[in-house]
Amino acid sequence: MKRLRGVNFGGWLSQIDAIEEKDPFNFKGIDYHMSNFLGVDDFTAIAKWGFNHVRLPVDYNYFFEEDLTPVKSRFHILDEAVGAALANNLDLIIDLHKCPGHTFHDESKSVQKLFKDDEYVKKTQKVWEYLAIRYAPFKNTIFELLNEPVAPASGDWNRVKGEIVKSIRLHAPDKKIILGSNMWNWPSTYNELTPVDDENIIYCFHFYEPLLFTHQLAPWLPEPEFKVERSYPGDYGEGVVRQYDLKMSEGKWDKSRFINEIQPVIDFGKNNNVQIICNEFGVYAGAQRESQLKWMSDFLEVLNENSIGFSYWNYKNLDFGIISEGESLHAKLERYNNPKHIDNDILNLLKNN
């Protein structure tokens, strides 16, 4: 199995509202953004850097009307992304970042409609059926079922994921599909994930632990625990409790802790003879620089040593970018003080692993 190594193109066809919030005076509308934020040259850069895929997050609401009629004037952007990836010998993971009745955002504290109303499961199936019909014929596409499911119980997600996979298989019987565990694809919930009886499934996890370090000072997290500067390696005490009482970040963290934390994923892969990929990881740009690089180095070594693929979050902007343009919060950071605004230290760590 080819080890997938690549980056996320988050903020292009997803989370556009976050892009606007960070640079409202230069934001010229959704369609202008989609046509200009990224393009063919960015796929070429990814290939030249030595990576073999792009994970492309897609928010369904930018591409479908409320009644799920496709917005055909925007699908040409996604068509061009598939073509640009193919021209550069890159696989393209089409990641349904938001679907009807579900968002990964932490502020969504109530039970998501996807898990309490089957009408939203049917709507999500309809979205995927359209995407499968349109993009299954391309040899370089991979379908990611849903970004970071947040269900009240893993059984809810296990049921829903099975139903959506069946819908995709009606139109894409052999296409590789990526899916992960409940609660933001966290490794600790992998012991509750049921494998799909399908040989073309890749299983993913996301890793931002200790969250109190990787998301320190991030302005979108209101809890006081995130307003504290922290170093890595370190001891983060009692950690923080998130939705549905999921406890994170407690205790001491270093490379050995990383190995322990992802062990459920490694075991899942071996026990089921399936491919594993970490589809999101990174450290907020405002974190202490030496610690940021140490965290990245340790985690990438763990992935490499265990032959686990990766999609780094993120290629451009959204506070984790290899490239940062127009982000006032990070404009004065020395790492981006070069003609192409590239964080070469992070890029080289990724290229070398």
Each residue's pLDDT, cut to its tens digit, for the chain (353 residues) gives: 899 999 999 999 999 999 998 888 899 999 999 999 999 999 999 999 999 999 999 999 999 999 999 999 999 999 999 999 999 999 999 999 999 999 987 545 689 999 999 999 999 999 999 999 999 999 999 999 999 999 999 999 999 999 999 999 999 999 999 999 999 999 999 999 999 999 999 999 999 999 999 999 999 888 899 999 999 999 999 999 887 888 899 999 999 999 999 999 999 999 999 999 999 999 999 999 999 999 999 999 999 999 999 999 999 999 999 999 999 889 999 999 999 999 999 999 999 99
Confirm whether pTM is higher than 0.95.
Answer: yes
Q: How many CB atoms are located within 10 Å of the residue 16 CB?
A: 18
User: Domain 5-213+254-351 has what CATH class?
Assistant: alpha beta
Q: How many CB atoms are located within 10 Å of the residue 92 CB?
A: 26
Domain extents for the chain?
5-213+254-351
Q: Are 168 and 129 in contact (CB under 8 A)?
A: yes
Q: Are 172 and 136 in contact (CB under 8 A)?
A: yes
Tell me the CA end-to-end span of the chain in Å, nearest whole number.
17
Q: Are 142 and 93 in contact (CB under 8 A)?
A: yes
Please list, in sequence order, all residues whose beta carbon lies within 8 angstroms of the beta carbon of residue 111, skipping any fewer than 6 positions away.
Answer: 152
Structure confidence at residue 108 (pLDDT)? 53
* Phi-psi group of 273: left, alpha or beta (phi > 0 → left; psi -120 to 50 → alpha; rest → beta): left
CA distance 198 to 200: 6
Rg of the chain (C-alpha set): 19
Q: How far is CA 273 from CA 175, 268, 276, 303, 326, in A?
A: 18, 8, 10, 17, 44
Residue 104: is it exposed, middle or buried by C-beta count within 10 angstroms (0-12/13-18/19+)?
middle
210 upstream amide cis, omega within 30 of 0 = yes
Q: What is the DSSP string of 110-131?
A: SPPGGGT-HHHHHHHHHHHHHH
Question: Which letter, b or e, does each residue of 319-344 get, where b requires 16 or more Cβ atoms within 10 Å of its Cβ?
Answer: bbbbbbebbeebeeeebbeeeebbbe
Short-list 309, 338, 308, CA closest to 323 = 338
Q: How many CB atoms are located within 10 Å of the residue 175 CB?
A: 18
Structure confidence at residue 110 (pLDDT)? 80
Structure confidence at residue 106 (pLDDT)? 53
